[in-house]
Structure 1
Amino acid sequence: MDGARKAVVEAIHASPTQAVIYLSGGASQALGWLMSVPGASSTVLEAVVPYSRMSMVQLLGKVPASFAAQETSDNMALLAYNRALKLSTTGIPVSGIGFTGALASNASKRGEHRCYVSARTSQHMWRSNIILSKGLRNREEEDTLSSQLLLKGIATACNVSMDPLMELQENEIINEFKQSFDEDQELEQLISGQICMKVYSFDKGHVLERGRRVILSGSFNPLHDGHARLLEIASSIYENAFSCYEISAINADKPPLTLKQIKDRVKQFEAIGKTIIITNQPYFYKKAELLPDSTFIIGADTVARVVDPKYYGDNYERMLEVLLGVKQLGCNFLVAGRNVGSTFKVLADFDIPVQLEGMFSPIPETLFRMDISSTEIREKLH
């Protein structure tokens, strides 16, 4: 690897952005360049090569119109971006990179030799492609060029500049496009299921580290002192954990939140300097898939619903299977006492299946009890 290319890789590793990379049909050298320079673990969360037809179909969840096309690399990048959101430290910028190509092989290709790169971040999708002069280079030489194109896509996603590709013929033009998303478009993509979450990081001066998360989920309509105190107490139980809030834009029993509702609620967390994650999953077993290695703080009233077979198709065994899956993802529940009707209920008031023991831990009433609710606050305001 030459000095200029090594400098680009070093700059990529020095950036805060972490990436998941999906590539097929070429650009194999790019992974070697990334991995051969110290610091790769700061950048690469995962690299997957869905090389066979069936592997690509399973990744995309469909048979693409063309395996080597910009639309296919776009879809790969979007899948990689969602995967990066799940694998990364909450609040760290991530990117999803997709590459697909049709390069020289043992058998002569009827179509053009070409390659496509897509790089997705929270606010942008960068696209680039190039048609190579057929018969001019062997496979290794085409792979080198396609690897440079892929590296440039990764660099762009990390806000790192990189010189144009070398050794191109006059007729070999790199086509580049940039699509930007504003906040409303991102949230619309979230509600529609294109992206799995959006993170608003308002923790000024907080050093993000990989590790456990303590998450308080709710509607926060409005956010009040009880929420803040509960998260503070829970965070003190799990030292060095990253604490944050989570809202689902999708409700199991009500219409989705509107864009205005989401943005209005987000402003509350900006005011107190805390991170808020917006997801599209109302159920905790789905939240666990998005946010593994997390402790979810819930009220005693929620425990009853979490272990109620009614919410699992009236199937007790299904309930156990789902919740044991949550446990395998490294997630558990921290339970705060709460008024249920006119009675203050705690974890001990509910029957937890023996198979799930250890997944639910109480917050002692002596540490936290605050008989206040968002519903009561809303009623007083009206």
Structure 2
Amino acid sequence: AAMVAFRRALRYETSPDNVAGVAATASLVSDRPKLGPHRAHVAIQTLRTTVTYSLELQKGARNRQEEEDLVSRMVLNAVAEAAGLEERLPLPLLPEEMTESSRAEAPAGWQQVLLGQTPALMVGQMPKAPASGMRAILSGAFNPLHQGHRRMVQVAQELYGLHVEYELSLDNVDKPPLDYYELTRRLTQFGPEEVVWLTRAATFVEKADLFPGATFLVGADTLRRIADPKYYGSQAACQEAWQRFAQRGCRFLVFGRDWGIGFIRLGDLDLPEGLRALCREVPPEQFREDISSTALRRAGQW
């Protein structure tokens, strides 16, 4: 939310150095008992840093007004920090309470991507030109990077001769933008010899502009979203997008996915012929990894 606030504030201020986003969320005492803890989280987003503060309040020690006063002080202190002020309001904490904080600093390259000054920033070693000349891009949120992703890369390299690079976008059509803390967390999953491109390309049309001639590795679920007109505003815009894919020389290598109703393959999708012509399927005997990022997060494995 702090990154959303920061991005929104950029519309009204020409100098990004003068902009900050502050966000807060809290679960406090109410007229009904809460099962979980009382807690508050405050975040600050500037061009250079993401800072977070978290506090778990002792249950039953304060009334609603007292808890609101404490959280309000946390928020005002965050605003003061974002403004570069040294003064802070005292926090009336109990002996058992302590604020926890984290800070993520952004290199200059990340800042340039955030501001749209650099369309794509390479993280990792310079990629070697593939002998086949065939380049592939695996785009994703990588929350987390799991065995399914690794297996897709392996299949693309060993069976199809593709040289695979990753792409991680700060923006996502279905999710909030990434802040520097989350970006750092996700990038640390990759090895030093793996190439990751950092972009703001939320849609595959934008990705095709950045990586012309590339083959995109996609799950059948992702391909279904690529074909959905709701992401383009109209059916006409949707058709224009497929034409741009073709004009950029881009293709899709499609991997089957388990959606809970069964294993879905390319042939199971209702796709327009213009888009289907750009697709090639990996047979299920070559790839089947029924791994869900959501399930991994719920299981506490990320």
TM-score > 0.5, shorter chain as reference: yes
In structure 2, what residue type is equivalent to 1:190? V
Of 293, 300, 311, 2:220 maps to 300
**What's 2:98 paired with?**
none
Matched, 1:330 2:249: yes
- Rounded Cα–Cα distance in structure 2 between residues aligned with 1:329 and 1:224: 29
Give 1 or 2 for the bigger CA radius of gyration.
1
Paired residue type of 2:221: D
The superposition leaves residues 175-232 of structure 1 with CA deviations (integer Å, 9 ceiling, x where unpaired) of xxxxxxx9522212211211111111247xx733583311111111111111111111
Distance in structure 1 (CA, Å) of the matches to 2:184 and 2:214: 25
Structure 2: stretches of 5+ with no match in the other structure: 1-104
Which letter maps to 2:136?
V
Query: Does 1:253 pair with 2:196?
Result: no
Name the structure 2 match of 1:274.
194
| Pair 331,237 (structure 1): closer, same or farther in 2 beyond 3 Å | farther
How far does residue 318 in structure 1 lie from its aligned partner after superposition? 2.1
Give, in whole Å, the separation in 2 of the partners of 1:214 and 1:247: 14
**Distance (whole Å) between structure 2 residues aligned to residue 224 and residue 254 of structure 1:** 19
* TM-score (norm. length: structure 1): 0.48
Residue identity opposite 1:295 in structure 2: T
Q: For residues 290 and 207 of structure 1, what CA distance do their matches in structure 2 show?
A: 18
SS of 1:335's equivalent in the other structure is strand
Q: 1:30-179 alignment to 2 at 5 Å?
A: none
Distance in 2 between the 1:320 and 1:346 partners? 22
Alpha carbons of 1:310 and 1:207: their partners in 2 closer, same or farther (altered >3 Å)?
A: closer
Question: What amino acid is aligned across from residue 192 of structure 1 in structure 2?
Answer: L
Q: Distance in 2 between matches of 1:376 and 1:356?
A: 30
1:232 alignment partner AA? Q
Question: What residue identity is the alignment partner of 2:148?
Answer: G
Quick check: 1:233 aligned with 2:149?
A: no
Are the counterparts in 2 of residues 297 and 334 from structure 1 also a CA contact under 8 Å? yes
Count of matched residue pairs: 196
- Contact 2:165–2:195, Cα closer than 8 Å, also in 1: yes
Partners of 2:267 and 2:191 lie apart in 1 by 36
- The structure carrying a bigger helix percent of its residues is 1
Q: Residue 108 of structure 2 aligns with which residue? A: 185
Whether the aligned pair in 1 keeps the contact of 2:242 and 2:274 (CA below 8 Å) is: no
2:221 is paired with a residue whose SS is helix
Asked whether the equivalents of residues 191 and 256 of structure 1 are also in contact (C-alpha less than 8 Å), the reply is: no
